Amino acid sequence: MTFANDYPIWILLIGFVVMGVGSFVRPSMVTAQFDIPTLSTAGRNEVRAVYGGFGILMACALLMALFSPSLRSGICFTIFAALGGMAGGRVVSWIADKKIDKWPRFYLILEVVCATLIATAI
């Protein structure tokens, strides 16, 4: 593979590492964006699991995709599907609530852009 084919993987890999580490270290920063400024112990656990653990594992999978050509398309498709599912969930919520706030809208756009980007690496 050439760098041109790998750059989408590297971009997402770095993004998932940042998301994962940030969620482990400052879980309340994640939820504060969505008007949930304080978290219980269970809430911090949930953020660390869903954003932290998921982010780090996605980064590891993307690293594997770079060095294991036989797994690359499956890994990239799976991450494409995960990002598409998150974006789809935001659209369903937008329709149900008839409103989408600033941060959910930002992440909707980011998820669509990242899903599109990783699709180019499949």
Token pair recorded at residue 118: 């990783």
pLDDT at 105 over 60: yes
Task: Provide the residue ranges of all domains of the chain, joining segments of one domain with +.
Answer: 3-119
pLDDT at 31 over 80: yes
Tens of pLDDT, residue by residue over 83-99, are: 999 999 999 999 999 99
pLDDT band at 3 (very low <50, low <70, confident <90, very high): low
What is the average pLDDT value for the chain, to the nearest integer?
95
15, 83 contact by CB (below 8 A)? no
pLDDT at 122 over 60: yes
Provide the whole-model pTM. Answer: 0.91
